[in-house]
Structure 1
Amino acid sequence: MAAPTLAPAPARSDGLRVVRRDDQTSGFDATKISVAMTKAFLAVEGGEAGSSSRIHHLVEDLTDQVITALTRFPAAAVHVEQIQDQVELVLMRGGHHKIARSYVLYREERAKARESSAPAPRSPELQVTGPDDLRVPLDWARVETVVGEAVAGVEDVSAAPVLAEIRRTLYDGISTTELAQALEMAARTLVEREPNYSTVAARLLLDRLRGEALTFLGGETPDHSAMTAGYPAYFRTYLGRAVELGLVDPELELFDLDRLTAAIRPERDLDFGFLGLQTLYDRYFLHSGGTRFELPQAFFLRVAMGLALREIDREARAIEFYELLSSFDFMASTPTLFNSGTTRAQLSSCFLTTVDDDLDSIFRAYRNNALLAKYSGGLGNDWTPVRGLGAHIKGTNGESQGVVPFLKIASDTAVAVNQGGKRKGAACAYLETWHVDVEEFLDLRKNTGDDRRRTHDMNTANWVPDEFLRRVEADAEWTLFSPDEVPDLHDLYGAEFAQAYRAYEAKADRGEIRVFTRVRAVELWRRMLTMLFETGHPWITFKDPCNLRSPQQHAGVVHSSNLCTEITLNTSAGDEVAVCNLGSVNLLAHVTADGLDVEKLRRTVTTAVRMLDNVIDINFYTIPEARRSNLRHRPIGLGLMGFQDALFAQGIPLASEAAVEFADRSTEHLSHHAIAASSALAAERGRYASFDGSLWSQGILPIDSLRLLDAARDGDALDVDRSTTLDWDTLRAAVQRQGMRNSTVMAIAPTATISNICGVGQSIEPQFRNLFVKSNMSGDFTVINPHLVRSLKERGLWDEVMVADLKYFDGSLGDIDRVPADLKALYATAFEIEPRWLVEAASRRQKWIDQAQSLNLYLAAPSGRTLDELYRLAWHKGLKTTYYLRAQSATHVEKSTLRGTDGKLRGVPMAPDPVPEAPACRIEDPECEACQ
């Protein structure tokens, strides 16, 4: 069948050049794409493809998508195979899987045919354009040297495919910047077939970084071997220049630099994956005018020195801290990495505030949010005290517009102050479930309705008392109040809250309450879950467990959590802004195939707790309320990341009793060592100021506080395993005798960014997909599960067809017949795991943690019933908070090509087709970068 006549392609590709396989360039001709796709449709589908008119319009649209993608390429020329990559990509995105898969196999056959008949490659005789516009011959020998260094010592990679990929992307007149990027991209395109090329790409990026840094500092561009010997001299020059530019605290130059530089481990520059190093390059390394001059080991040492400023033997402590950071055994949170050792050392991660019911407090809250967000803090705001819609305003004898208009301003403030230009500003508003504005609060993230009463850029969370869940389970009524008429409910929890709440209901029945509304508790609960499904907000967090198990009950009330739902600290309007200082242990670095390395974990946790405690005294506080609170209570939040990586290393499926047991035992050890470390610091440095009267002072550790929650629920609503394996009696006695340096010591944050740096999975998250593209502020990155690839290699199953199948089945093994059942269970992805397993594991962790954990829940097929059962289970299992609900649709990911463009296989959790009690709507794949 002849191809139909095609309309001219859009003119947006004017000026684009195509690099052919013989390294010659020619003008871009979009009609070739249209003709090729038309032939593909006719060849695969034959007469089923429909009329010529249908094919014409379909191919025209697909061709336009290809051209749009090509015009986003940074270079002025694209290789013919890059064009073919994009053709495959748009075919897969459009759901034309059979055609795309056939095209993949056809390209592979043609590539093998060319390789068998092609003459030996020759060095390209090309010119490179420098920054001064002067052209010089391409130094191919140096390219080969750099690539050779990059692949050295890395398993299952070689220089040949990287060099071949580079050859086909070069063109005459390429700039030096484009040449450096071409080296990295050449390795990135191979990551899908071999994850270790991520390390190769990182080393090629490192070469570019070295050139950028050393040129800026007045030196020559060294290779890695030369840099190894020159690192101490470079560090001195770098530090002096950073101080001169006003970027680093001059106090760092007073350290014994000979002692410190002798401890630098240059070989650790080679340990990064590409995503980790690119993230550091884009957002963490010091720069001047956009030129980075801070190399990885200088970065880690600068952070370590900043954290050791107040130590007695600060060189020894700086080396100890540097070892922990540079080995990836532990990583401090993003604000600490951004700012440690700088002239504005704001190192804290999270800030919690309470907003009182007057304009002074409200507008002070906006100001505080701006100042706290400027230096990378994540915000959690308690808005419950602000009176509701229709409440009386005594000063004007008018009626209140409620809390929602004020939340709109808070949302706009978070957008305006985008964390010093380094990342998106972020805040979360909390409201208790009895607030009369709660129904409007549920709608804040909707895309419909009055936009003046929407907060599209601010997170929201329900602060749910136990009494409400009891009413839900009893199918009883629930009363909504305005806080100006029931002011003490805000500060009450447990039995006292329930008693006062019922008394206010009686007053409402007698006509003594002006503003109130009655609803069925279960109907409000369903609406909460429906909005959570539709918009991803508000999250469900539980007020009573957060307070009843808080070590600081004597010092105040926990009125909210933070931006990522793992911090549970007391706040008060106008007096104290709660602050938490975060960092996370890399659990993968502390396990072997035989289980947890408890002695290494003890050493890591002991040093990490000291580092986090140091943050409190070094910290640059932007508002006095934060300084007052932090110095009085000294809270820290030690968490973990790489949980599922640790399971992979042991061969334990996440959906198993063994995984739940590992969550229990690993967190028990983390808790024991963290509490012991803080108590030892108290003996060395003194107790935190508000220790007396705390649960710690009464010998009640986090595991013991479960009985307080159990008693408040009358023993029939808490289903938590109470098993222990360590010597907790001795630790209790030590805590009572020595005290604690920190009022809280544990919190499991999302680790969205620092886990990328360390090359492990986020926090306690299940693997989202075994192959997908991760998108963040640094760009799009192909992510493939290296543990899976290793297992498939061991069984002789890793090949091009497996890569194609992983893409076709959205990174899931379930439908790939030749994969054994045990590997399918071990590498099951987030939506293939029953979410109850996530809740069970979280329950086991929560019993050991004095704060909370950022727990995302995944549902493959949400419905009103499954949502209800899941969140009630979370409550019964004693969880303090939950985080995002993630759901999916029939189309899970955009497929990348087999050869890959490294950047467009984007995994996006979506809501499914409509189900009862849960309308369908897109839910983005969120990443909290404000915490970590």
Structure 2
Amino acid sequence: MSSTLSDQISDIGIDDVPTPKHFRVIKRGGDVAEFDASKISVALTKAFLAVEGDNAATSSRLRNQVRELSEQVVNAFQRRMPDGGTLHIEDIQDQVELALMRSEAHKVARAYVLYREEHARARAARTQGIEKPHPTINVTQPDGSKQPLDLGRIEVLVTEACTDLENVDVKRVVDESLKNLYDGVTSDGVATALMMTARMMVEREPNYTFVTARLLQDNLRREALSFLEVADEATYGDMAELYAPAFKAYIERGISFDQLDPALNDFDLDRLGAALNHERDSQFTYLGLQTLYDRYFLHRDGVRYELPQVMFMRVAMGLSLNEEDKNARAIEFYELLSSFDYMASTPTLFNAGTVRSQLSSCYLTTVPDALDGIYGAIRDNAMLSKWAGGLGNDWTPVRALGSYIKGTNGKSQGVVPFLKVVNDTAVAVNQGGKRKGAVCSYLESWHLDLEEFLELRKNTGDDRRRTHDMNTSNWIPDLFMKRVVDEQEWTLFSPSDVPDLHDLYGAAFEKRYSEYEEMTRTGQLKLFKRVNARDLWRKMLSMLFETGHPWITFKDPCNVRSPQRHAGVVHSSNLCTEITLNTSADEIAVCNLGSINLAAHVVDGKFDSEKLSRTVKTAVRMLDNVIDINYYAVPQAKRSNFRHRPVGLGLMGFQDALYKQGIAYASDGAVTFADRSMEEISFHAIQASSALAAERGRYESYEGSLWSQGVLPIDSLEMLVQERGEQYIQVNREQTLDWNSLRETVKAQGMRNSNVMAIAPTATISNICGVSQSIEPTYQNLYVKSNLSGEFTVINQHMVNDLKEAGLWDEVMINDLKYYDGSVQLIDRVPDELKARYATAFEVETRWIVEAAARRQKWIDQAQSLNLYISGVSGKKLDTTYKMAWALGLKTTYYLRAQASSRVEKSTLKGTDGKLTGVKVPEAQQNAPAPTPEPDVQAPLGSAPPQACSIDDPDCEACQ
């Protein structure tokens, strides 16, 4: 305006309107004041100026009209009350509105009405604690009432969500969110609009995943805090004060619901509540937090009443129950978990501190060759699966098809019909209703039912002899691989005729196996089948190519290098092929898992060994505590776990650790880092377990173990070389730490745990921590991930940061990444150094993945969940890859992965119609044929390129 409102009012001369005597006004707050006619003129002037603009102030017409209307209002009250009286402020405003309508100043009347409504909403909002209400949008509350949308609170939420994040725009998130709201929207609808707005921006700026997660927390806080009756809602800043009372209320409610262990009440809840760090809520990605909400937080009647830091403290308390200073240990464990330096396995996160604390991840069983034993094993599967355990079953002892059954004088139907029952049991008994039941069945490669076992996952054939939901794995002795390399024959037997082969390995197995083969030639053994070893190997690879199963795992390195050789035989691995523990008829092997976040231990581009040492020490203690606290669904599991006390400390975020050091996965630098980082983890883990032995005592079966002989995992590598033969193995033996002193320490103190290390897939807990899973290379740099929590845009933040630094991050780059499915290899302007660093899983030559795994394997007393990514699969490539894995001393492999079907939605490419119109395709790609298998892999004619297991398949338990 050209002048102030007071100047304009003075120019109009409204002070000329006489104020009647003996009139008083009741204000909205109840106060009483003298009637002042000039205020009517001020209100009218504001209305006219709002409609007619600043120039109206100089209009004599406006001065006269305002004066005339003011007099009409005053005269109306004088006629009504000649002797004066008391008026309500609303009566005066009603009369002003009426005067405007009568004078046919309809636009001004409308402006005045809107002015009244706006101020009425503002007054009403202030009574509800809303200082900045939206002028038109009301929010429907859970009780059905409505109140104005609190713009001030939304601005606070978004501002808090964007704090300390670069390249995010508070105003943009607020403005875009408001466009998606409507009058009557629910509180959850407001939160969803905010989240969806931020989520849509992730592909252009990765930091928006943190913004989205922080906005999601508003929903979480509202749901949990209102249920706990701590507060109706809270901002991020409010939680600094509210976490402690919420924690105490949570413990009380959880115990009353029979969900939390009453022993949690024995902790100093005030001390633990004060230790909760609300700032750590800000480190979640959207995928990580949504995963926690959907699958981990405790709930009652569909309401999640557990908050992130409360969950971590619940787990920490659950793992501290038997500690001497339980409060201090709970805080120590909480610090490790909530910082994401280390994360416990999914069953531990699910169940620690609850009334049924089944915390173990893996169970390995051997199925006996007797009907009651077979169905007893299936029952054990059901009970273990109920409490969220993954299963590995050794089916080798069960007699083959056509074998004689003495009790009935009949012939056996073999292994396959029982495996069908196992498959259906895994489907029927899911893991506590939280994820699908999952089992892997193992069969040694000399079993007479092997060829039918290889075809269990086929989609053709008799469906009664197919297992579409169960995983399968070959348990391959070294002798078979030698026969393949040497192009010799191989003989299949029924275990009922060769029962001792099951418990033999290495040279002893080779000797006895050859004796049985000679017995087939002399006629002493009638039931057998002789095949060409190379042909059988081709069929194994063909089925792996076509169905993704059975996986390839190696019996002899698992046994020759087992610290527990004296206590029994390793007959199989587990669901995810990283556990190698001995089993028997009266022992079900159990392993308790957790993973170090390797990326969190790269600080300022350098690997922080001192921090790693501290993390490993606490992590091993937490894992050891699991054994004593754990709920055991079957007695054989408890017997085994207390006797041997195995744990499996693994890692995740390997790829992120490489990014933070500027190292490409496909490089000697990555192989060296895999070697050195695993050496340090191994050193500190063994040291920590030995220290626990000094404090708590050695595990029961320690005497006679390799540990007791001073043989560490790095030493057992030499034993494998001697057992297999130099010509069949190539292993790196380099070491950098003081292993001699550690050997002496172990011999003096012993070990608390029979096994200490295993690298699990970590697919879900890595999502929680926001890092790459396990030891995997990056799947794609930009893609849409689907899992049980929905669909999430995933973008490689390290890549984006480097492209920004190079001045290359723009709309064109985003569209190029979408078009090339997250690959930078065909984008010309990306420097070669960045192309190498950000090569995706299918662009990294498989040999680099295998070589890095081999360097880790020399330090690990168990195994690794090793997925093999192969682009353009051929028979020759499969043959070379798996022979290489065996020759480099790997114990197991996991999934064979081909390109997944999921793609980034290309319809969001600007200037396209979703069909890539106008986007130039490089000539090399225009007519590129799909990869096909070479003839020496017997893939069926017309079969599609392999897709063993889509990496983002929500139904694949191994991916969760």
Greater shift in the superposed pair: 168-177 or 697-706: 168-177
Q: CA deviation at 1:912?
A: 4.3
Partner of 1:70: none
Partner of 1:145: 156
Would you say 1:750 and 2:761 are equivalent positions?
yes
Would you say 1:925 and 2:950 are equivalent positions?
yes
Q: CA deviation at 1:594?
A: 4.2
User: Gapped runs of 5+ residues in structure 2?
Assistant: 1-132, 916-928
- Greater relative contact order: 1 or 2 (C-alpha under 8 angstroms, separation 6 or more)? 1
**8 Å contact kept, 1:356–1:386:** yes
Partner of 2:620: 609
Partner of 1:380: 392
Give the TM-score taking structure 2 as reference length.
0.82
**8 Å contact kept, 2:819–2:906:** no
**8 Å contact kept, 2:549–2:948:** no
Structure 2 CA distance for partners of 1:480 and 1:464, relative to 1, 3 Å: same
Q: CA deviation at 1:177?
A: 2.3
Q: CA deviation at 1:141?
A: 2.8
Partner of 1:485: 497
Partner of 1:77: none
Instruction: Write the distance in 2 (CA, Å) between the matches of 1:302 and 1:411.
Output: 34
Q: CA deviation at 1:376?
A: 0.7
Q: CA deviation at 1:540?
A: 0.1
AA aligned opposite 2:865: S
Would you say 1:852 and 2:860 are equivalent positions?
no
**8 Å contact kept, 2:195–2:212:** yes
Would you say 1:765 and 2:779 are equivalent positions?
no
Partner of 1:320: 332
Q: CA deviation at 1:176?
A: 2.5
Per-residue Cα deviation, 1:582-640 (whole angstroms, up to 9, x for no partner): 00000001113443110000000000000000000000111000000000000000000
Structure 2 CA distance for partners of 1:888 and 1:797, relative to 1, 3 Å: same
Instruction: Write the distance in 2 (CA, Å) between the matches of 1:154 and 1:228.
Output: 20
AA aligned opposite 2:545: F
Greater shift in the superposed pair: 874-883 or 171-180: 171-180
Instruction: Write the distance in 1 (CA, Å) between the matches of 2:672 and 2:315.
Output: 35
Q: CA deviation at 1:261?
A: 1.7
Instruction: Write the distance in 2 (CA, Å) between the matches of 1:810 and 1:431.
Output: 38
Per-residue Cα deviation, 1:88-122 (whole angstroms, up to 9, x for no partner): xxxxxxxxxxxxxxxxxxxxxxxxxxxxxxxxxx9
Structure 2 CA distance for partners of 1:423 and 1:530, relative to 1, 3 Å: same
Count of residue pairs brought into register by the alignment: 802
Per-residue Cα deviation, 1:704-729 (whole angstroms, up to 9, x for no partner): 00111111112211101000000000
Instruction: Write the distance in 1 (CA, Å) between the matches of 2:293 and 2:381.
Output: 28
Candidates 237, 240, 265, aligned match of 1:228: 240
AA aligned opposite 1:895: E
**8 Å contact kept, 1:477–1:521:** yes
**8 Å contact kept, 2:347–2:360:** yes
Partner of 2:119: none
Partner of 1:289: 301
Would you say 1:543 and 2:555 are equivalent positions?
yes
AA aligned opposite 2:477: P
Instruction: Write the distance in 1 (CA, Å) between the matches of 2:521 and 2:296.
Output: 59
**8 Å contact kept, 2:583–2:589:** yes
**8 Å contact kept, 2:895–2:948:** no
**8 Å contact kept, 1:263–1:319:** yes
Instruction: Write the distance in 1 (CA, Å) between the matches of 2:564 and 2:623.
Output: 19
Partner of 2:669: 658
Partner of 2:692: 681
Q: CA deviation at 1:254?
A: 1.1
Larger Rg: 2
Q: CA deviation at 1:897?
A: 4.3
**8 Å contact kept, 1:546–1:851:** yes
**8 Å contact kept, 1:377–1:930:** no
Q: CA deviation at 1:913?
A: 4.3
Candidates 840, 843, 851, aligned match of 1:840: 851
Partner of 2:9: none
Partner of 2:438: 426
**8 Å contact kept, 2:875–2:933:** no
Instruction: Write the distance in 1 (CA, Å) between the matches of 2:329 and 2:670.
Output: 36
Would you say 1:898 and 2:908 are equivalent positions?
yes
Greater shift in the superposed pair: 597-606 or 140-149: 140-149
Task: Give the match's secondary structure for 2:404.
Answer: strand
Instruction: Write the distance in 1 (CA, Å) between the matches of 2:172 and 2:639.
Output: 58
Partner of 1:810: 821
Q: CA deviation at 1:892?
A: 6.5
Candidates 496, 508, 526, aligned match of 2:520: 508
Paired residues for 1:71-90 under 5 Å: none
Paired residues for 1:319-468 under 5 Å: 319-468=331-480
Task: Give the match's secondary structure for 1:431.
Answer: strand
Greater shift in the superposed pair: 519-528 or 593-602: 593-602
Instruction: Write the distance in 1 (CA, Å) between the matches of 2:263 and 2:245.
Output: 19
Instruction: Write the distance in 2 (CA, Å) between the matches of 1:221 and 1:592.
Output: 37
AA aligned opposite 1:445: R
Q: CA deviation at 1:148?
A: 1.7
Q: CA deviation at 1:893?
A: 2.3
Structure 2 CA distance for partners of 1:180 and 1:912, relative to 1, 3 Å: farther
Per-residue Cα deviation, 1:777-834 (whole angstroms, up to 9, x for no partner): 1111110001001111111111111111101001000010111000000000011111
Per-residue Cα deviation, 1:100-156 (whole angstroms, up to 9, x for no partner): xxxxxxxxxxxxxxxxxxxxxx95722333334444433333222211221122111
Would you say 1:707 and 2:707 are equivalent positions?
no
Greater shift in the superposed pair: 356-365 or 593-602: 593-602
Per-residue Cα deviation, 1:5-52 (whole angstroms, up to 9, x for no partner): xxxxxxxxxxxxxxxxxxxxxxxxxxxxxxxxxxxxxxxxxxxxxxxx
Paired residues for 1:593-672 under 5 Å: 593-672=604-683
AA aligned opposite 2:905: K
Instruction: Write the distance in 1 (CA, Å) between the matches of 2:785 and 2:330.
Output: 33
Candidates 545, 551, 567, aligned match of 1:555: 567
Structure 2 CA distance for partners of 1:390 and 1:751, relative to 1, 3 Å: same
**8 Å contact kept, 2:764–2:959:** no
**8 Å contact kept, 1:425–1:930:** no
AA aligned opposite 2:898: A
AA aligned opposite 2:565: Q
AA aligned opposite 1:440: E
Instruction: Write the distance in 1 (CA, Å) between the matches of 2:947 and 2:339.
Output: 39
Partner of 1:739: 750
Instruction: Write the distance in 1 (CA, Å) between the matches of 2:755 and 2:959.
Output: 17
Task: Give the match's secondary structure for 1:225.
Answer: coil
Q: CA deviation at 1:915?
A: 4.3
Task: Give the match's secondary structure for 2:340.
Answer: coil
Task: Give the match's secondary structure for 2:531.
Answer: strand
AA aligned opposite 2:442: Y
Would you say 1:196 and 2:207 are equivalent positions?
yes
Q: CA deviation at 1:450?
A: 0.7
Q: CA deviation at 1:167?
A: 2.4
Structure 2 CA distance for partners of 1:892 and 1:327, relative to 1, 3 Å: closer
Q: CA deviation at 1:914?
A: 5.1
Task: Give the match's secondary structure for 1:445.
Answer: coil
Work out the percentage of aligned pairs sharing the same amino acid: 65
Instruction: Write the distance in 2 (CA, Å) between the matches of 1:343 and 1:863.
Output: 51
**Moved segments of 4+, more than 4 Å:** 910-915, 926-932
Task: Give the match's secondary structure for 1:390.
Answer: coil
Instruction: Write the distance in 2 (CA, Å) between the matches of 1:416 and 1:739.
Output: 43
Partner of 1:58: none
Greater shift in the superposed pair: 230-239 or 277-286: 230-239
AA aligned opposite 1:774: K
Partner of 1:20: none
Per-residue Cα deviation, 1:283-313 (whole angstroms, up to 9, x for no partner): 1111111111111111101100110000001
**8 Å contact kept, 1:749–1:931:** no
Task: Give the match's secondary structure for 1:126.
Answer: strand
**8 Å contact kept, 1:643–1:763:** yes
Instruction: Write the distance in 1 (CA, Å) between the matches of 2:177 and 2:659.
Output: 34
